[in-house]
Amino acid sequence: MTPTSKLEAVNILLSSVGEAPVNSLSSGLVDAEMAETLLESTSRAVQSHGWHWNRELEVELLQDASGHVLLPGNTLLADVSNSETELDLIQRGLKFYNRKTHSFVVGKEVKANLTILLEFTDLPEAARRYITVRGARIFQDRVLGSRELHGFQEADEAVALADLRAAEAEAGDYSIFNNYDVYRVIDRVGGSYGVN
């Protein structure tokens, strides 16, 4: 079995409103184009959250001749890495903005952590499935607006999200001990609390 293709995902969205499947993404049918647009929008929204599979850490970004640091075209979120503590940079469009100098001039190359937008076919299957199921619910809500179908699709969406989070936890090798709040609790030093 192969991972879900974009065409299959669009056809799932179409089936959620009782429409016949299409043979290609360039079918010219209005509903198919709406479904594809909604699928892409849903994918962008889900990927904006930032997952283990669409984050790039410590990416070295060079400055251009003007001293601006440009971000890759598929950047959803950029944050200066922890190693760049003296800089106060934020993302504005596809550039870093220097809040200390109130300009786009950074004046040096920087390392950043990026959340990037991936093509649908580059996503892990759990992400494809969640995006498709969520997109189908939204598509049905917008086209038909059936409360009964919404309830069924909402339950499917919750299962798909749980699967995506489980896959994320597995791939990310997350541990409660990598969390500062947990560390603070574990590292507490006992003391007397008003007891003599």
pLDDT in tens, 103-160: 999 988 999 999 999 999 999 999 999 999 999 999 998 888 778 777 778 889 999 9
Q: Which residues, including other chains, have CB under 8 Å from residue 29's CB and lie 6 or more apart? A: 22
H or E stretch covering 21: none
Q: How many CB atoms lie within 10 A of CB 76?
A: 19
Backbone φ, ψ for residue 112 (5° rounding) = -140, 155
* Predicted TM-score (pTM) of this structure: 0.81
